[in-house]
Structures are given as structure tokens and as C-alpha cells.
Structure 1
Amino acid sequence: MQNSQNKPVETAISSVWDDDIPDGGKHGWVKIKDNRIHVFPPRQGGRPASIRGAAPVSLIVNKNIIAGTAPIDEEDIVTWELQHEPLFEIKVSPDQMEAYLILHEKVRYEWNLVDTPASTQLTVQAAPNRERIIETLEFTHIMDALESRHIIKNIDKAAILQELDLPSGKPVVVARGQASIPGTDARLELFFPEQIESVFHEAGGVIDHRSYRRIPSVHEGEVIATKHAPVTGLPGYDVFGNELSPRPAHDLEVTPGEFTEMNAAGEIVALRPGRPRMTGRGNRRQVDISSAFVVNGDVDLRTGNIVFAGDVIVHGNVTDHMIIESLGNVYIHGNVYNSTITATGSISIQGTVIGGRVYSGYFGVMFNRMYAASKQLSHEMRQLDMAAQVLADELRTRNQPIRYSQMVMLLIERKFRTIPELGRELLQVFSSIQYIQTKDTEQLKLMLADLMSSASILEKVDEQSIRSMRGYLDRLYASVSSMQEIQVNIELSRCQSSEIKSNGDIIVTREGVLQSNLYSAGSIAFIKEQSVCRGSRLEAEERIIAGIVGSDANARCVLQAKQHVYIKKLYNGYIIVDQHRWNVIDMMHDQLFDAEYMQIHAPIHSSTV
């Protein structure tokens, strides 16, 4: 709100002459009397007067607002106005969910110019006349202002009246919107643990360290999970009454597996006893009962490599250069020697891993030979088909017709030599599969066999067969990928000269880790304080909890984590937490390395790994 008071300049007349005229009137001069500005010109050779306004007075000379000091004479038209703050303001929050009243003044007084003696350089001042009120703020003024701003929702009239009665001068909320209530996503409630549990039992005062792993199991007819449907949210509105849409609820696609069924209430029921498992990614989940392949002795040349679409249980050792590939969990009660273990679920090894490669979850999929070979072969077959089409177009332009099978044979012999190699690798994997083959698998095996010789390529391969093979391969690696379980871990007692990778946690239960590389998408934890970590590299996306790290013999380790690293006893080692690095050379005890500690204590320049 702005209060303007405009007055014209008085011309020089004898009635305003007085004894206070500066310099005897040689120069121009100005005075203020009775709320009027009087301007007089200079005599011959004199300077014109100058004038400026002091806040809240704003001077306007010849319809131009002046900033600072400006010269004037009797020809100029001078007016003045007052620049006041409004009695109140209405402000709206950036999200338009709240409106605020800011009360500056309840009343507005008349203002008059302050009488000022004649001067060649005059500052115009004004003062309120508190005996004359020209405007009073009323409740209706505020309501009208809210309405003019189209603020209509949830107006707090009591807050407005209270602020008028006891002004605070602070922003007061006088209107509020209603936030939307977001939808509730569908969820899957599980009635079984997703990971292997370690429970130690005491019998006769002795703790059983051999039978502490509890594998989740259910009975036939047992409800193992329930899908809860999504719930639609409720809309809200801002202070202007605009509707605010709620966050939509997302559904979850839940399907039963081969040995489960889902009823109308969303309950998933086991059709046979066994270990329940949940697989899938994104917004897709499948709940099923995993079957198990049991080896009552060692995995060796007599058993051959094991490829199984379920859990694998080994009651003995895994001997040199063997492979276990499980589309489920793997439980090994003995040791692992120079072998590869992959699982789309969790892996539990009670014994020692020496020279092993152990991969679970996502890494169990990526290092699964069936997945890797079928995906790579599908890519190569796609490139082969495209190359054959290009070659056929080129030959047609030269009027040199050639059979599709001939082009495929030539391309495989000259450019795509890896195709037969990948085919042989897949056939070798199929020969190790420990479950009944599907029709797709049997058909794919026949097609792969056709790629092994030039004669069979010429006789049996055509465009349709190549594309059919690609379809079988795509479905094969997609089915392996879909078997990745949600919550996985790797549990072992000791490893040496090995590589361990888990999409979840890695748990070291006994002696520790020697000259090995461990990676966890979760945390790495050594259960015993006496467990050692020597000459190894450990990397975790979350935390590392270790016992004894390094040694007097300088078996240095690298421990890297995003959140923190805790070490019970550290001889030496290279510690990395988030972006902070520290080459520790002095012994430390019970030390927690987090970003804050590292920022304060770690040297600015630490040597590299």
C-alpha cells in the first residue's frame, strides 16, 4: 500500500523572504514551510538550489523521480510522495501449501513535511501526525486480499484475528493446503527367512559347531507368503484449491512357481515340502519350493561337474578343478579345492576354500556358464544373421546367387569362429545338467550339434533355424537370470588364494582370509575377533567388520567400504572409506574408520595401493 501526498512548488514572493536567506540570496535557495516546498532562483551569476528527499519521502521533479541530489529552479514542477511499506502482506510458500500473513502496521497516519529553514542544499523530510489516522487495517481487508489472490482453502480466521489483536510482526500461517495421501505399493509378505540362519545349539555343555546352519523349510499346504494388493491414494489440494494427485500405487507381479499355488486371497501355498525361495527382479517376483540335488560324498571326477536347477547339497569336499553351478543355494559341508562354485542364491561352505572361485546372487548368474555362453552365442548368431543378409544383398547385385547355408558356413569359417566353440561349451554344460531336460533344451542341443560340422550346416541350417536358435538361446539365459534370488550371502570359515563375490553379505565364521579377493554388495563381517585377514583385498558397498588385519611380516591388506571399517587389531593396511584413503603403518586397536574420522586423522597425501 502506498501513501502519496503531492504538493506544488511555490514561486518566489516577498512574503517568504526572511533574514535567514543564505548568501543574501545570491544563490538559489529552498525552504519548507506549512507542508509546502518554496523554491527561489539565484541572482545573476549565482548557482541554482539543490534538493534531495530523505526516506520515506520520494521527490518527483518534472514528473521524474530523482535519486540522490538534483538542482531545481522556479520553472521546475516539484511534487513529493511517501514510500510506505504496506500495512500487511500475503505470501505463499513455494510449494503453495501454506499462505502467510505478515502484519507491518495496524494503522496509517497522515504525514507532513517538516518545516526546514532556507538552504541552498535542502533535504526534504516528513514526519507522521499521530493525531490524524487516515487508514485502519480491518479483518475484512485481509479476507479481501486472500480472496483476490484466490486463496480459498482452510483459511484460519482465528489466527488472523489473533495477529490483529496481538501483532507479532512475524509470518503467521493463515491458510493451509491438504497434502495428498500417496498410494501404498503392493508388497509381498514372506513367512520364511530368505537367508541361511546360523543357530548354535548347546548339548551337555558342548556347543555343536557342525550343525548350526538352519536351512529354511516348509511343509506341504503351508502358507509361505501373501501378496498385499496396492492401495490407491487420496488427492489433496493447495491453498488455491488446485488438486494434488497422489503418488500412484505400484503393483507387484507375483506368480507361483512349479511347486506353489496362489489363492484368491493372495496367499501362496506350498504344494510340497522343501526350501521356499523368492526370485525375480524389478516389479516381478516368483515364489517356489526349491528342489535339492544331494551328493553324499565328494564332488570329483566320479560325480562330474554339477549343474542343477535348484539347491545343491554336498556332504563331502569339492575336489580340484570341479564346477558346481546351482540355480538355487549351495551347501558344502567339506572343503573346496581349486574349484568354481556359482549359485543364484546363497552359498554356505563349512570347510576351507583354497584356490576357489565362489560367486553368489548376481555374480552367480554372471559367472554361470549356461548364462554366459547362451547370451554370448545369441549375440554372435544375431551378428551372423545380419552379416549373411548383407552378403546375400551384395551377391544379388552381382547376379551370383548362393544358398543361405553356404553363406553361414563361409562366415563361420572366416569370421565367426567362436560360434562352434560356444556351442561346444553349451553342449558340455548340458551334459552335466542333473535334471530332466525340457523340450526347448533338447531342441537347442540338436541345433547346436548342427553347427559342429560344415556338412550339417549345409544340409540343415537356414534362416528360420538360425532365428529359432536365437529364440531358444534368449529364453535360456533369461530363465537363468530370473532365478537370481533377492536376499543372498556367502558364508565360509576360511579361504586362501581365492576369489569370493556376493550380491549380499560375506560372513567369515572361523579362521579368516589369506591372500584372497572378496567383494560384497552388502557388508563383510568376521564373526570371531581372532579371525585374521592377511595379504587380501576386501571391498564392501556397506561395511567391513574385521578381527586381526595384517601382521608383523607385512602381509598387508586393502579394506575398502562405503560406510565404515571396524578393525579389532590392525598391524598395518590400506584403509579406504568413501573417498578417504589412509595407508596405516602403526598398530591400532578397536578402531572405527568412518568418513568423519578419516577426514580428521588421515594424512592429506597417503601412498597409493
Structure 2
Amino acid sequence: MEQTIVMKGETVQEAIHKALTLMKAEPDEVSIVIVENGGSRFWGLRKVEAVVQVTKKELVPLPDSNQSNTPIKTDSPVQETEACIWIKSGQAVVSSTEQNKPWIAPHPKASIYVNGVLLTGKKQVKKEDSIAIKPHETIRPFTWRLTEAEDGMSASLYVQPEKKVTMQLLDTSPQRHLKLEIKETATVNNSLTEQAVREALTEKMITAGIRESDIKKAVQTLEPGTFTVAEGQRAVEGVDGAIEFFVEVNRSFQSQLKEQPDGKVDYRESGFIPSVEEGTVIAKTSPPLPGTPGKTIKGEPILPKPVKKVIVRIGKGVEMVGENEITALMAGRPYVERRGHTVKIHLLKQYEHHGNVDLKSGNMYFDGDLVVQGSVEELMKVECKGSALVGGTVSGAVVQAGRSIQLKGNVFSSTISSGKMNMMVQEFSQNLLEITEYLMQLEKSLVFLLNEKKVKELSVSQTWAVFRLVAGRKNAPMMEETKQFIQKTARYHTLLDEEWEKLAMRLYKLFLTLPPQTKNVVDYLRETIKAAQQLLEAHQAEEEEEVILQLPYALKARLFSAGSVEVTGSGLYNCFVRSGHTITAADGCIRGGEIYAKQRIQVKSVGSETGVKTVLKTDETGVIEIDEAFEGTVIAIGRRRHSFFHREYKVRALLNKEGHLIIR
């Protein structure tokens, strides 16, 4: 009766040897099938053991060894004095003498046993030796698996047909060194059926996007492969609504103004303030295009991302014509604020002052863009809601603009603030956030005291009396902060949009003036909270328009910019500077004073030969670049500081991932 075992080993020969030892059998008493050759996989990173299947056959009387090794007839006669070995009818035949013996060596496709011992190296044999040669037989088992993609959009079927390789030992001519000739015969069988695949798909609840042609290919293949047997339909994303502008809405800075033939300079040609005429079509909106839903291989719907509509808020000087056209109602500069998908468009008026700002002209306040062709003299103030351009010097004065400022002349002992509106909106937004939370707390308290039944029973004035009582006791500090918010809004109304003024007026009516007689306090409070939340939401995203303060030279000045500071001339001397983005003086110097930029400082020269202290600062993520740093220069990035005690060139400073200051 046959006995079969499966054995593992580091090599095929080791596995066979273990099996023979366990079965107490000789090589010629068994048949051997190599299931796995073993060896290294994945570039030597993984080692796989060899696997063999050894079957012990029923014992059959073997011919006498002397008879099996008796020389046989060949095409060429063999002399008894010759040492040779050959294969005849699957058996090794040896001719040898005491002095001459042929050689036999291991073969990768067969196991060779000499006198029952596995041959592991080259060996001389004689005709009395018992030689058994067992050609290997390998089987690659049949396997298949169905895999679903993580995103549920496809199913892959891997198929490996069974492959059986048998080896046949061929006859050879007599040789002194035996070279085995082995013929390989492979048979492939793919037993996978379409029914089995469909049952597997059903078991995994895969019902959509079945690819019949790939299923047929999978069951017919004779080579290992992967087939996509199901594929979902991906959602087609829609297109958000958009707005297209037909006029220039972004300012551009030109370092040199255009000179006219008569030698005069036209500041309107600086490229600083674009403008439109009445009736000009400023922009058109296009509606969003919804996407197309998809479906997973399990039939589950895949929804595209919701498309967003462009929300246009109409400001001063513009109107909406029809459903999508924005037109100018007057001449002015189009100003656009983008906050997410909300776009506010309004026109800023422009005013051009042809002389100096002095005691004769008085201080200047303008609700729009302002151009001053002359200088701004001592103790004078220029303030505008839009952008400002000054053609002359600014000495001992104050210039504030809600947007950008361009100064053509030098600055002496003055205070300059650009992007004042941006800075104020940030401050006001923080205050309004706290006030809104306070209002929501008041609403909860009020609803607890005044339910719908009580509100109906009380008069409007009585509901307001209850509210004023609760508001005064609930949080006195917040009441004071609300009053300050209302006062600041009134003070800086020239720099703020009208939405802030309208909200401040609602708060004023809510807390500080005689209550409206037409609406109960609960409804009025809820309307105020909604207006505050909408205003906060509208100012969550930063404006896309860049704010810039541009000037050639400043001495003992205080400079503030919500955006960037660009120095176009010789530089800054003993100045105090604050920038929300970058400070650039690529061809200038900074000598003395304290300079801060949130993101980057880039300057040609810092400090002086006399060692005047000059401090440059940025946030932790900032970068400082200096072409020439003198002794006395101090740089600070976040909390890390460094002082220069001798002149250095091409300095670039930043913090690494560990938070250490790196200077290159």
C-alpha cells in the first residue's frame, strides 16, 4: 500500500532527505513531487521553504546491481579500460576500472543517490555502485480569490491555474563526466467556472458594473493574472458658480510715473487706481452646474460634492441688472472683496487734491480713493476709506488708508497706516464674536423667562423692560464692551463698510435707546444675532486683494501695513515698522529701529559700521534674508534670537523642524 507525506526543508534536497529518513525508504522506493522549490522572494527579503511530496511505492524486486550496471551496447563500442557513464532507459550505466572511474555531479532538476546517499557534490563512481536518479516533478496549485477595492469602486479576480511540470530522463551517450539530459513537460488546468465567480460576487453583494467579458477571460486563462470583473461608476463632479470680470479690479504699482510732454506728472496714469465710467458692465456671474451621481459595485449611490453658487453682495455705486450682470451706477474705482464664495462689489469714489495738505487745505477725510499731488505737512492728517497716493513728502503727519498707500516722496517723523480697514475688521470681528456669544446667552435667559404664552400676554414695551433688566444683571462687563463696540464703529465709520454701521445701530437700539414699539424684544434680539452671525461669516476668509505700503525712504517714522511693505529707495532709518506679510528693501538698507514682518524680511543691508542696534523680527514660520549684516544687528524668529558681533554676508535665517534657529 502506498504511503505519502509532505515535507519541508531549506532546500529541495534537504526536504527529500528528511522524508526518506522518516519513511525509512531508499530513493528508488519512492516517487517525488516538488510542490515548492523554495529560496528567496522579494529581492532576498523573504525566505520560502522548499516543499516536496514523497510517495512510497510497493516493493518490487529489483534486478541484481551487477546486472543493472553491466555495460550495454551503444552506437560506439566501449572498451573495458575506458571510464564512462551514460543513461539507458532511465538507468545509469557505469563502465570503470580500478584506475579509471567516471564522474557524476548533482543536477538542479533531479535528485541523484549513490548507494542510497543523496549526491551533494561531484563524485567518482564505479560499476559496482547503486545509482538512482529521480527527476523532480513540480506542481503549482490552482487558486483564485476575489478582492473588493477599499473605495468600493472595483472588484478584482486573481486566477492561478494549476501547472504540473514532469521531468523525463533522456538517454545519453557514454561520457567521462555525465551530463544529464532532462525533458520538461508541462500541463496546465484552469478549473474555475463562471458560476463559481458569480456565486462569489453574490456572496460579497456585488451587483453593479459586472464585466462579463472579463469573467470569461478569467475562466479561460492559462496564465496567472488579475481581471477586473466589476467596476463602479464614479460621480462626475459639478462646477461651482463663477464670476467673470470685464474691467480691471486689481491695482498695480509702478515705481516710475509717466511724464507728459510738458514735463508734468499725471498721477492718474500711475496704474495705481483703475476706474470705470457710469454704465460700464463690471462683471457677470454664471450659475453652478450640478454633477452626476455615481454608483459603487454594490449599487450604493455616490453623490458628487454640492456645487456652490456665487453670492454677490451689491455695494455702493453698482446695481444688479437681471440675474447675473453687475453694472456701475457712477464713475469710480471698482473694489472687490472675496470671502469664500461671497463676492462684494462696490465703487469707491476718487478725489484728487492738486496741492499740499496744510493749514490752508485742512485735514482730509474721504470715503474712497485719494490722490494728493503735493506733500502732507506737519500736524496734518490724511484719511481715506480706499487707497491713497501721495506725490510729495510726508513730514510730521499722519496718513491712514483703508487699503493700500503709495508714497512717492520721503517720510519724516510721521505715522503711516495702510490696510487700516483690514486691521480694524480683524479687531472688530473678535469683539463681535464675543458680543454674539453674549447675545445668545441673553436669548436663552429671555426665552426661559418669556415663553410664547407670556410674550403674548405682555405688551411690547413690557418685554423690552424685562430684557433691559436681564441684560444689566447678566454680564455688566459685556454690556460695557458692547457700548465700546458701538462707539468705535461710529468713530471709524469712514473706514468700515456700512454693514458694520447697520449692526452697531441695531445694538444701539437694543441696549441704549428707547425700544422700538412695533416689535417684541425676542424677535428683535434673534434678528440681531442673525445679522451678527452673517457679518462674522462674511469676514472669516481673508480678502484676496493685496494691501501694500510702498515708499522710497523713511526717517524716524512709524509704519503699519496689514499686508506688505515695499521700500523702493535708500531705506528705513530709526523706524518702527509692523507688517502683516513681508517687508522688502531689495536695494535699500535698514539702519536702527525695530522691524517686524509676519512672514518674511528681505533687505540688502542692515545696521551700520558704528554698530547701531537694529532689530528684525518675524513669526516662528518666518524667514529673514540679509545681503549684508553689520555688527549690532539682532534677528529674532519666534522666540529665538541671534546677535551679530561682526559683519556677515548672505544671511538666511529660519527655524528648522526642531525649532532651532538655522543661519546660513
C-alpha contact 1:306 1:434 (8 A) present in aligned 2? no
- In structure 2, which of residues 248, 253, 256 is the aligned counterpart of residue 198 of structure 1? 253
- In structure 1, which of residues 532, 546, 549 is the aligned counterpart of residue 606 of structure 2? 549
2:46 corresponding residue in structure 1: none
Q: Alignment partner of 1:148: what SS?
A: helix
C-alpha contact 1:327 1:480 (8 A) present in aligned 2? no
Q: Confirm or deny that 1:184 pairs with 2:239.
A: yes
Q: Deviations over 1:467-498 (max 9, x none)?
A: 97998899799879979854031232134442
2:279 corresponding residue in structure 1: 221
Q: Confirm or deny that 1:510 pairs with 2:565.
A: no
Question: How big is the shift at 1:268?
Answer: 1.7
CA distance in 1 between partners of 2:308 and 2:498 (Å): 37
CA distance in 2 between partners of 1:409 and 1:91 (Å): 64
CA distance in 1 between partners of 2:379 and 2:430 (Å): 19
- Provide closer, same or farther for how the CA distance between residues 606 and 321 of structure 1 changes in structure 2, counting only shifts above 3 A: farther
2:348 corresponding residue in structure 1: 290
Question: How big is the shift at 1:182?
Answer: 1.5
Q: Confirm or deny that 1:136 pairs with 2:189.
A: yes
- In structure 2, which of residues 568, 579, 590 is the aligned counterpart of residue 519 of structure 1? 579
C-alpha contact 1:582 1:606 (8 A) present in aligned 2? no
1:500 corresponding residue in structure 2: 560
CA distance in 2 between partners of 1:302 and 1:474 (Å): 47
Any residues of structure 2 matched to 1:342-361 within 5 Å, and which?
Answer: 342-351=400-409, 352=411, 354-360=413-419
Q: Deviations over 1:165-190 (max 9, x none)?
A: 6x5x6767676544332211112222
CA distance in 2 between partners of 1:291 and 1:497 (Å): 29
CA distance in 1 between partners of 2:515 and 2:263 (Å): 67
Q: Deviations over 1:417-446 (max 9, x none)?
A: 77777776666657x899999996997899
- Provide closer, same or farther for how the CA distance between residues 253 and 181 of structure 1 changes in structure 2, counting only shifts above 3 A: same
- How many residues align? The count is 504
C-alpha contact 2:233 2:294 (8 A) present in aligned 1? yes
- In structure 2, which of residues 306, 312, 322 is the aligned counterpart of residue 248 of structure 1? 306
Q: Deviations over 1:500-525 (max 9, x none)?
A: 232x443322233343233234x443
2:618 corresponding residue in structure 1: 560
C-alpha contact 2:446 2:467 (8 A) present in aligned 1? no
Question: How big is the shift at 1:273?
Answer: 1.7
- Provide closer, same or farther for how the CA distance between residues 360 and 320 of structure 1 changes in structure 2, counting only shifts above 3 A: same
- In structure 2, which of residues 351, 364, 368 is the aligned counterpart of residue 310 of structure 1? 368
- In structure 2, which of residues 382, 386, 389 is the aligned counterpart of residue 328 of structure 1? 386
Any residues of structure 2 matched to 1:418-433 within 5 Å, and which?
Answer: none
CA distance in 1 between partners of 2:646 and 2:384 (Å): 44
2:143 corresponding residue in structure 1: 87
- Provide closer, same or farther for how the CA distance between residues 487 and 142 of structure 1 changes in structure 2, counting only shifts above 3 A: farther
Higher Cα Rg: structure 1 or 2? Answer: 2
Any residues of structure 2 matched to 1:15-34 within 5 Å, and which?
Answer: none
Question: How big is the shift at 1:285?
Answer: 1.4
Question: How big is the shift at 1:255?
Answer: 3.4
Q: Deviations over 1:263-294 (max 9, x none)?
A: 34623222222101113523221222212355
Q: Unaligned 5+ residue runs, structure 1?
A: 1-5, 10-27, 37-53, 60-81, 112-128, 394-402, 452-456
CA distance in 2 between partners of 1:472 and 1:342 (Å): 31
Q: Deviations over 1:564-594 (max 9, x none)?
A: 5544444465667899987666655556667
Q: Deviations over 1:72-105 (max 9, x none)?
A: xxxxxxxxxx997653444444334455555555
Q: Which has the higher contact order (CA 8 A, sep 6+)?
A: 1
Q: Taking every aligned residue pair, what percent have the same amino acid on both sides?
A: 18
C-alpha contact 1:183 1:249 (8 A) present in aligned 2? yes
1:75 corresponding residue in structure 2: none
CA distance in 1 between partners of 2:548 and 2:252 (Å): 12
- Provide closer, same or farther for how the CA distance between residues 87 and 179 of structure 1 changes in structure 2, counting only shifts above 3 A: same
Supply the AA of the counterpart residue of 2:315: G
CA distance in 2 between partners of 1:511 and 1:153 (Å): 73
TM-score by length of 2: 0.56
C-alpha contact 1:444 1:469 (8 A) present in aligned 2? no
C-alpha contact 1:279 1:482 (8 A) present in aligned 2? no
CA distance in 1 between partners of 2:151 and 2:441 (Å): 56
1:24 corresponding residue in structure 2: none
TM-score by length of 1: 0.60
CA distance in 2 between partners of 1:588 and 1:372 (Å): 44
1:233 corresponding residue in structure 2: 291
Any residues of structure 2 matched to 1:361-440 within 5 Å, and which?
Answer: 363-366=422-425
- Provide closer, same or farther for how the CA distance between residues 406 and 205 of structure 1 changes in structure 2, counting only shifts above 3 A: closer
Q: Alignment partner of 1:188: what SS?
A: strand
Question: How big is the shift at 1:215?
Answer: 1.0
C-alpha contact 2:310 2:341 (8 A) present in aligned 1? yes
Supply the AA of the counterpart residue of 2:425: M
Q: Alignment partner of 2:408: what SS?
A: strand
Supply the AA of the counterpart residue of 1:136: N
Question: How big is the shift at 1:137?
Answer: 1.9
CA distance in 2 between partners of 1:247 and 1:305 (Å): 53
Q: Unaligned 5+ residue runs, structure 2?
A: 6-21, 33-48, 55-137, 168-182, 451-464
- Provide closer, same or farther for how the CA distance between residues 470 and 136 of structure 1 changes in structure 2, counting only shifts above 3 A: closer
CA distance in 2 between partners of 1:583 and 1:155 (Å): 74
- Provide closer, same or farther for how the CA distance between residues 461 and 586 of structure 1 changes in structure 2, counting only shifts above 3 A: same
Could you say what the CA RMSD is over the residues aligned between the two structures, in angstroms?
A: 6.2
Supply the AA of the counterpart residue of 1:227: T
- Provide closer, same or farther for how the CA distance between residues 205 and 219 of structure 1 changes in structure 2, counting only shifts above 3 A: closer
> Greater CA deviation, 586-595 or 548-557?
586-595
Supply the AA of the counterpart residue of 1:231: L
- Provide closer, same or farther for how the CA distance between residues 206 and 170 of structure 1 changes in structure 2, counting only shifts above 3 A: farther
C-alpha contact 2:429 2:536 (8 A) present in aligned 1? no
C-alpha contact 2:595 2:617 (8 A) present in aligned 1? yes
Q: Alignment partner of 2:238: what SS?
A: coil
Question: How big is the shift at 1:196?
Answer: 2.4
Question: How big is the shift at 1:216?
Answer: 0.7
- Provide closer, same or farther for how the CA distance between residues 187 and 296 of structure 1 changes in structure 2, counting only shifts above 3 A: same
C-alpha contact 2:293 2:304 (8 A) present in aligned 1? yes
2:339 corresponding residue in structure 1: 281
C-alpha contact 2:549 2:561 (8 A) present in aligned 1? no
- Provide closer, same or farther for how the CA distance between residues 320 and 429 of structure 1 changes in structure 2, counting only shifts above 3 A: farther
- Provide closer, same or farther for how the CA distance between residues 203 and 231 of structure 1 changes in structure 2, counting only shifts above 3 A: same
- Provide closer, same or farther for how the CA distance between residues 232 and 207 of structure 1 changes in structure 2, counting only shifts above 3 A: farther
- Provide closer, same or farther for how the CA distance between residues 405 and 181 of structure 1 changes in structure 2, counting only shifts above 3 A: closer
CA distance in 2 between partners of 1:83 and 1:290 (Å): 85
C-alpha contact 1:405 1:461 (8 A) present in aligned 2? no
C-alpha contact 2:332 2:348 (8 A) present in aligned 1? yes
CA distance in 1 between partners of 2:420 and 2:414 (Å): 20
